[in-house]
Amino acid sequence: MEIVHRPVMVKKVVKILTPKPDGIYVDATIGLGGHSEEILNLIGPEGKLIGIDRDNEALKAVHKRLPNKRVVFKKGNFSEMEKLLYQDGISEVDGIFFDLGVSMAQLKDPERGFSFTSGRRLDMRMDRNQEVSAWDIVNRYPEKELERILREFGEERLSRKISQIIVRTRRKKPIDTCSELSGIIERLYSRRRTHPATKTFQALRIEVNKELDALRTGLDSSLRLLKKGGKLCVISYHSLEDRIVKNFIALSSRKGLLRMLTKKPITPELEELRSNPSSRSAKLRAAERI
């Protein structure tokens, strides 16, 4: 299936980064390269873009989509951004962009085991070389640990009940597929506006990919990599991520390391929300290195 890709708030991102023709920019989550494409339109032959992703399939696809000599593709976690850049002799950059979370390509591919309706094995690994998947967490983690993850990473009100029922069910037989798990959770809720398994799936995804730890480390690295005047720009999609970004920028501003460029987060315009409903939870925050 071909995924129609719509990069979120792309014009706003580019306006903040204001790419210089000879600048070096990092797209820490290149995905299918929607934002990178716009950055590349503005940098010249002396400019460079380093595109990082921990997902090999995304990298293969973006390589095909943006066969451009000014892009250096890097497979890896942005928590190791400094190491990845040093490999190419880069220790200073003009802008770093993060578009957090998973891509539509990952979400919509049933094989990747991210979506409630997938009849495939619970997986959710962005990096498929990684050992631990959502299956391991659901079927092997102790009940208390499951409960903690659902509470902390999903802000799930029924974390206790859900972890109890998971453990009770898996005693009889492992919970193998995404749809089996979402079916179990659905039975606990009578009515809900969003899918009842939304928070559980969010929590599992964060735990599988250690997303919040990676974000904290990635943001710290940005401080060391950005040149004076360099821009940091982050799009997040849920409150846990946004809180980390917001606190990081506020703290670094108090320390005199960053200048906050967005007092309030920037959100998509109505037009974008209409044409791309999945952008509805996006929040963009930005800062300048001083």
Ligand X SMILES: C[S@@+](CC[C@H](N)C(=O)[O-])C[C@H]1O[C@@H](n2cnc3c(N)ncnc32)[C@H](O)[C@@H]1O
Q: Phi then psi for 93, rounded to 5 degrees?
A: -135, 165
Q: Which is nearer to ligand X, 175 or 240 (CB)?
A: 240
Q: Which is nearer to ligand X, 32 or 208 (CB)?
A: 32
Q: Which amino acid is at 229?
A: G
Q: Which is nearer to ligand X, 77 or 179 (CB)?
A: 77
Q: Which is nearer to ligand X, 31 or 47 (CB)?
A: 31
| Smallest distance, ligand X to C-beta of residue 28, A | 6
| Smallest distance, ligand X to C-beta of residue 95, A | 14
Q: Say how many C-beta atoms besides its own lie within 10 A of residue 93's C-beta.
A: 22
Q: Which amino acid is at 35?
A: H
| Smallest distance, ligand X to C-beta of residue 27, A | 7
| Smallest distance, ligand X to C-beta of residue 184, A | 27
Q: Which is nearer to ligand X, 25 or 78 (CB)?
A: 78
Q: Give the orientation angle of helix 159-172 with respect to helix 178-186, to 10 degrees.
A: 130
Q: Say how many C-beta atoms besides its own lie within 10 A of residue 168's C-beta.
A: 11
CA atoms within 13 A on the CB side of 175: 28
HEC profile for 202-215?
HHHHHHHHCHHHHH
Q: Which is nearer to ligand X, 80 or 155 (CB)?
A: 80
Query: Which residues are 285's β-sheet partners?
Result: 234
| Smallest distance, ligand X to C-beta of residue 84, A | 9
| Smallest distance, ligand X to C-beta of residue 268, A | 14
| Smallest distance, ligand X to C-beta of residue 147, A | 25
Q: Which is nearer to ligand X, 125 or 289 (CB)?
A: 125
Going by C-alpha positions, the residue among 182, 177, 190, 255 that lies closest to residue 220 is 255
HEC profile for 162-196?
HHHHHHHHHHHCCCCEHHHHHHHHHCCCCCCCCCC
Going by C-alpha positions, the residue among 91, 100, 73 that lies closest to residue 225 is 91
Interface residue list for ligand X (CB under 6 A): 5, 7, 29, 31-35, 52-55, 58, 77-79, 99, 101-103, 126, 214
